[in-house]
Amino acid sequence: MKRPLLSLAFVTLSVCCVLGTAGSQQTEWAQIVEAAKREGAVVVVGPQGSETRDALTLGFQRKYPEIKVEHSGSAGAQLPPRLLAEQKSERFAVDLLVQGTTTVINGLMPARAVIPLQPYLVGPNTRDTSVWLNKKFSFADEAGQYNLAMSVYILPPFVYNPTLISANEINSWKDLLAPKWKGKIANRDPRLAGGGLAIATFWYANPKLGKDYIQKLFTTQDIALSRDDRQLLDFVGQGKYPIAIGPSEVLAKEFIAKGLPVRQFNPEAMQEGALTTAGNGAISVPRNPPHPNALKVYIDYLLSKQGQTEWSKAIGFATLRQDVPRDHVAEHLIPKEGVQYLDSHLERYVNLRNEVVAFLNTVLPR
């Protein structure tokens, strides 16, 4: 007769422990939020584009009006030199980076300019990973600490002008080697972090393409190189170059929304397969963030259902948070179960890019 009483006591004690832990966490979080309000600001460096800027600022600002979001946009290749110079001079002005994985893994991790994220994943949303793909956060770096991917999507092969090109004219990368495309293709410089390098890495690693394809494309087709995403999209919209490989997907989405003659090519149409990327949808914390409590609150909001919904709608791609609607995302951009992709945002492919760039330097003009 005593056993049920002991069991009941054990259950009661267990419930009390759980409630006590939950209450302690709530108290600790409330203290963090109050400390964040006293800090009064969080500094975020995000991707280029007004829609992503709004997604990274407006919703959080409404929920936490006492904490100002100081946001600046940056192309990935421009960020490492600037941030490393600031850190070298003991200036630590940035709390969070929302950038591509190459920028962080190649440009910042080797210099120890970023720190582990786990100490900042302490809020009610970031403690619960059950709503994320595979019930865990996805890190691009092999250590699983420095570069958390929020969204992953199938990268469109290129953008094109639909008034000059019919989408069914191309169903293989090798089609771009045809004489009719000579002088009609622009490419984001593939030696720099960004979409151009991601696509070049796919060519390099794909057994159906490889070095031979890259060499033929750049030595026979008079490819126009640019390091300016807007210029590439203007080229396409104005018809100067009806095809552009590798420009910012976020900016391309803005051009499309404005009704300009720019379209993203369907990756499912390419015979050689497709690659996935995190694009600019990965977060990292630079060394010595100046507003550590506001940073914890900001990350908790950004990774919440509301924050990820705003982010997903801004970039036009699906988040890895599984309870976020996808009705605004084109079906062909959502990775499919059972389909093999080259996951270009993972560290092993990011590291391969050094080899890719070394090869490109033998093919492209200096």
Q: What's the pLDDT band for 61 if we cut at 50, 70, 90?
A: very high
- CB atoms inside a 10 Å sphere around CB 110: 9
CATH number of the domain within which 241 lies = 3.40.190.10
Q: What's the pLDDT band for 2 if we cut at 50, 70, 90?
A: very low
pLDDT, residue 239, reads 96
Same domain, 100 and 41: yes
For residues 175 and 254, what is the distance between their CA atoms, to the nearest angstrom? 28
Same domain, 200 and 124: no
Is 5 within a domain?
Answer: no
Number of domains, the chain: 2
In degrees and rounded to multiples of 5, residue 147 shows phi and psi of -140, 95
Lowest mean pLDDT, pick from 1-15, 71-85, 229-243, 292-306: 1-15
Same domain, 142 and 163: no
Is 168 within a domain?
Answer: yes
Is 165 within a domain?
Answer: yes
Same domain, 82 and 59: yes
Q: What's the pLDDT band for 268 if we cut at 50, 70, 90?
A: confident
Q: Where are the extended beta strands (E) located within the chain? A: 41-46, 68-73, 96-99, 114-115, 138-139, 148-149, 153-154, 159-160, 185-188, 224-226, 243-245, 263-264, 275-277, 282-286, 342-343
Summary mean pLDDT of the chain: 91
Same domain, 126 and 173: no
pLDDT, residue 253, reads 84
The whole-model pTM stands at: 0.76
Q: What's the pLDDT band for 73 if we cut at 50, 70, 90?
A: confident
pLDDT, residue 12, reads 52
Same domain, 212 and 192: yes
Q: What's the pLDDT band for 333 if we cut at 50, 70, 90?
A: confident
Domain that holds residue 164: 156-273+345-363
pLDDT digit string, tens, across residues 9-39: 545 544 555 456 667 888 999 999 999 999 9
Same domain, 34 and 143: yes
Token code pair at residue 319: 């988040």
Taking residues 274-290, what's their average pLDDT?
Answer: 94
pLDDT digit string, tens, across residues 148-157: 999 999 999 9
Same domain, 202 and 318: no
Taking residues 163-175, what's their average pLDDT?
Answer: 95
Question: Which amino acid makes up residue 351?
Answer: N
Apex 169 CA angle, 166 and 173, nearest 5:
125
pLDDT, residue 279, reads 85
Question: Which amino acid makes up residue 65?
Answer: P
Same domain, 161 and 229: yes
Alpha-carbon torsion 152, 252, 306, 117, what sign? positive
Residues 6+ apart with CB under 8 A from 82: 74
Q: Would the pLDDT of 62 be above 90?
A: yes
Same domain, 91 and 205: no
On whether the CB atoms of residues 316 and 328 are closer than 8 A, the answer is yes
Token code pair at residue 359: 């090869």
Same domain, 243 and 359: yes
Q: What's the pLDDT band for 215 if we cut at 50, 70, 90?
A: very high
